[in-house]
Amino acid sequence: MTDPSEPSSRPAAESDRSRPGRLLGVDLGSVRIGIAVSDSAGVLASPRDPVTRSGDDARDHARIFDVAREEGCARVVVGIPTSLTGKPGPAELQIREEVARMRAEAGEEFEIVTHDERFTTTIAHQRYREAGVRARDRKEKIDGAAAAVMLQGYLESIR
């Protein structure tokens, strides 16, 4: 869910629907950054290998932007961990601050937008369980899968 009153979290606009091309989905975790990419039609999101946090946000953002360039993405969709109460919690505030830094670092090269990522990790775990993937095998895949769930939600919101 997005907050239209805040520029860092705007609802899907008509201009979002008219921009063709691939989108990069990002789930900013504390240990790993989940990455997903949409197809060029903007219909399907697929997980990619996560980026391991280096301890330096600028370096991590540069790696995210490298992936965006490699995949041909002009827009980066970052998941925001919105609380169930709707009030911003510490995790949401921290991610919003990081998104502001990402925007400054991206300049005009990438459009950075946000989208609600509530329940994405839970949904990703559930899908892997249903597919019969063992818990220990899910650990390395879950971040990208959560990013794909979030990005898929964003793609559906702009259709």
pLDDT at 14: 35
On whether residue 5 sits in a domain, the answer given is: no
Residue 8 domain flag: no
Does residue 7 lie in a domain region?
A: no
pLDDT in tens, 73-92: 999 999 999 877 878 888 89
Q: What is the pLDDT of residues 118-139, one digit of tens each?
A: 877 778 778 878 877 777 777 7
CA dist 103 and 112 (Å) reads 6
Whether the Cβ atoms of residue 9 and residue 117 lie closer than 8 Å to each other: no
Say if residues 79 and 72 touch (Cβ distance below 8 Å).
no
pTM of the model: 0.83
The residue segments making up the domain with residue 89 are 14-157
Question: How many domains, in total, are found in the chain?
Answer: 1
Identify the helix (H) or strand (E) that includes residue 126.
helix 120-130
b/e for 32-60, b at 16 or more Cβ within 10 A?
Answer: bbbbbbbeeebeebbbbebbebeeeeeeb
Q: What is the CATH number of the domain that holds 32?
A: 3.30.420.140
In a domain, 140, yes or no: yes
Domain presence at residue 3: no
pLDDT at 20: 54
Say if 49 falls within a structural domain. yes
Give 12-50 pLDDT, tens digit per residue. Answer: 433 444 455 899 999 999 999 999 999 999 999 999 999
Distance CA 55, CA 19 (A): 34
In a domain? residue 129: yes
* Domain contains 115: yes
